[in-house]
Amino acid sequence: MLNRLQERFGQHAVPFQIPIGTSESFSGVVDLVSMKAITYDRGGDGKGQIQDIPNDLADQAEEYREKLIEVAAESDDDLLELYFEEGALTDEQLIRGLMIGVKNGTVFPVLSTSASLNIGTSGILDTMVQFMPSPADRPATVCTRPDSDEEITLDHAPSAPLSALVFKIVSEAHIGELTYFRVYSGEIKAGADVFNASKHNNERFGQIYKTLGHDRRELDTIRAGEIGAAVKLKDTHTGDTLCVRQDPVVLSWVTFAEQVANVAVIPKSKEDEEKISMGLSRLHEEDPSFIFNYDGDIKQLILAGAGEMHLDLIVERLKDRFGVDVEMIQPRIPYREAIKGRAEAQGRFKRQSGGRGQFGDTWLKIEPKPRGEGYEFVNGIVGGVVPGRFIPAVDKGIQEALHEGVVAGYPIVDIQATLYDGSYHTVDSSEMAFKVAASMGFKKAFMNAKPILLEPIYEVKVVVPDEYMGDVMGDLSSRRGRILGMDPKGSNQVVRAEVPLAELHKYSTTLRSFTQGRGSHTRKFVRYDEMPKEEERKVIAEAKEIQEGE
C-alpha cells in the first residue's frame, strides 16, 4: 500500500506510524514521532495504551523514523542545514519540520488504522490536531461578491466582518434540522441576525452549539476558525454563505463528482408512496452528492449517486430515519423510437351513435429527419380539403402519438409528418375527430416506415492502474462498448469508450471488484444510436409484457 501511495504522491508520502501486526493480528501502531508503541483492544473504546516498541519492530521503526527526519528537514532550509551539520533533529525540530511540510503540501502523512476494530482512530485525530495547520496558518480565503466575479480576500480575525459556510444539515429527532457551519471570519452570536448571501434573505440565530458526536454544548459565540451548529434556520441550505448585509460575500462550495450509479426505487407499501419524496428531500439536504427525480419517460423514481454502496446507504437511512422501505431495481432505459424509411397512410375516424356523429379523414406522409432535429409538422393541404381550423388538431394528434410511441411505447424522435390530403363533414367533423384520425394514420404509417429503436450512448472514462488495462478493455468490449483511446494520467491510464447505457448498470461495483478498489469512472450522455436487432427484439418483448401487466 505504501508503494502505491508513493507512486501517486511521491516519496513525501511518508509513514508517521507503522502497524503492529497485519490483518487479523493488527493490534496497534508504532508512533515514529514519539517512538512509542500504542496498542488497542480489538473492537474496544479506541483508547490506546502507550508501551515500549516491541523488539521485533525496533529496527524497522528506526529505519522509517530516519526517513521521516529527512522529509522534515527538507521542508525548511534552516532545518536542512542543521540536519547536514548535526546528522539528526531533536523531537521539537522534527515536529516543526513536519508541521511546515504538511502546511505547504510537501509532506503527506501515512497512518495505520482499522475503523471496524477501532484501532488507531484516536491516532488519526491526534495527528490532525498536532500537525494540520490552523485556519490562521492557511493562505487567505478568496471569495466573491454575490452575483459578481469581484474577488474579496477575507481577514480570518474574529474582529473582521462575518463570513460562514453551511457545510452540513442533519435532521435529528426532537430537535429538527441541525445546521452545521464553519466561521471563516468574524463571529456569530446566539440571537444574532445574519444575511444569507446565497439566498438573499435574512436569518435569525437562536441557540448555537459546539458539537462532539451526539453531545452538544450551548455557547454564546462561535468565532473565526471554529465549527458550530444552529437549529431552526428557516431557509438556509448546504453550501450557503452567511455574512453581514453591509459586507456581503459568497464562499466557494464543493463541486460534487458526477453521479455514476442509479437505481429505480419502488416503495414496498402504498403508505410509503407519499413519504418517500419527503424523506429523500431531507436526506438530500444532508448529502447533496446524491440526486433523485421522477423520470416521466420511463415512469420511475430515479435515485443517483457516487456508486452502488452510496445508494445502499441512502436507502438504509431512508428506512431507519423515516420508516420508508423501498426496493431498488434496475431503471428502465429511456429508449427512443424512430424510422429509417418513408411511408404514407390514411387515418379515418368515423363514429355514429345517434345524434351528431364524429368524422375526420387525414392522409399523412412521414419521413426521417437527421438525428437530433426533432419533430416537424408540415401543412400540405391545398384547396381546403381539410379546413384550417382542424389543422392544429391534426398536429396535436400526431404529437400525442409521438409521446406514446408505437413499437414499444417509447417517445418518437426525428421525424417529419406532412398532412397532404383528407376530407371532412360539414356537421360531424370536429377537432377531436381529426385529432384521433391523425393519431391513427400516423401510427399506421410509422409501422410501414422501417421503425427502429434508438438507445442512449454514454462516453465512459475509466481511470485504472496499468496492470488492469486489459481487464477493463475486455469488460468494456463485452458490454458492447467501443474503445476510443487511452491517455496516461500519472501512474494510471484513462480508458475512453462509448458504451450503451443499458450495459452500465452496476458498473462501478464491477470495476471496483476487478481493480481491488483502485478503479474509478465517469460517464456522460453523447447521443442516441440505432440498436442491434437482437437487442431490439428483447426490448420490444419486455415492453409488451409491461404493457400487458398494466
Band (pLDDT 50/70/90 cuts) for residue 269 is: confident
**Element of type H or E holding 470:** helix 469-478
Taking residues 244-251, report their average pLDDT: 93
User: pTM for the full model?
Assistant: 0.75
Q: 10 Å Cβ neighbour count for 73?
A: 22
How far, CA to CA in Å, does 132 sit from each of 65, 96, 136, 138, 547? 19, 11, 11, 10, 60
Q: What is the pLDDT of residue 20?
A: 93
pLDDT beyond 70 at 550: no
Q: What is the pLDDT of residue 208?
A: 93
| Residue 476: Cβ-neighbour burial (10 angstroms; 0-12, 13-18, 19+) | buried
In the chain, what are the domains?
2-131 (3.40.50.300), 142-243 (2.40.30.10), 261-329 (3.30.70.870), 337-449 (3.30.230.10), 454-534 (3.30.70.240)
Q: What is the pLDDT of residue 22?
A: 85
The pLDDT tens digits of the residues spanning 159-216 come to 899 999 999 888 776 777 889 999 999 999 999 999 999 999 999 998 999 988 778 8
Reference 455, options 481, 477, 429, 433; nearest CA is: 481
Q: Give residues with Cβ within 8 angstroms of 275, minimum separation 6.
A: 267, 322, 323, 324
| C-alpha cell read off for 468 | 488492469
Q: Give residues with Cβ within 8 angstroms of 406, minimum separation 6.
A: 337, 412, 443, 446, 447, 451
pLDDT beyond 70 at 266: yes
Percent of the chain that is helix, strand, coil (3-state, to 5): 30, 35, 35
Q: What is the pLDDT of residue 299?
A: 86
**Single-letter amino acid, residue 394:** V
Q: What is the pLDDT of residue 355?
A: 66
pLDDT beyond 90 at 282: no
| C-alpha cell read off for 38 | 500504542
Give me the residue label for grid cell 496498542: 39
Q: 10 Å Cβ neighbour count for 59?
A: 10
Q: What is the pLDDT of residue 494?
A: 94
Q: What is the pLDDT of residue 333?
A: 93
Strand residues in 2-145 grouped as ranges (E): 13-15, 17-20, 28-31, 36-39, 49-51, 108-110, 142-144
Q: Which one is predicted more confidently, 375 or 260?
A: 375
Band (pLDDT 50/70/90 cuts) for residue 549 is: low
Cα-flanking dihedrals φ and ψ of residue 164, to 5°?
Answer: -145, 150
Beta-bridge partner residues of 521: 462
* Of the candidate ranges 37-46, 324-333, 443-452, the one whose mean pLDDT is the lowest: 37-46
Q: What percent of the chain has pLDDT over 90?
A: 62
* Average model confidence (pLDDT) across the chain: 90
Taking residues 349-378, report their average pLDDT: 90
Q: Is 159 helix (H, G, I), strand (E, B) or coil?
A: coil
pLDDT beyond 80 at 447: yes
Q: What percent of the chain has pLDDT over 70?
A: 99
DSSP letter at 114 equals B
Q: What is the pLDDT of residue 273?
A: 80
Radius of gyration, alpha carbons of the chain: 32
Q: What is the pLDDT of residue 354?
A: 66
The pLDDT tens digits of the residues spanning 5-26 come to 777 777 889 999 999 998 788 9
* Pairing of the two strands 151-153 and 187-189: unpaired
Band (pLDDT 50/70/90 cuts) for residue 485 is: very high
Taking residues 423-450, report their average pLDDT: 94
Band (pLDDT 50/70/90 cuts) for residue 369 is: very high
Backbone torsion region of residue 218, taken as left when φ is above 0, otherwise alpha when ψ lies between -120 and 50, otherwise beta: beta
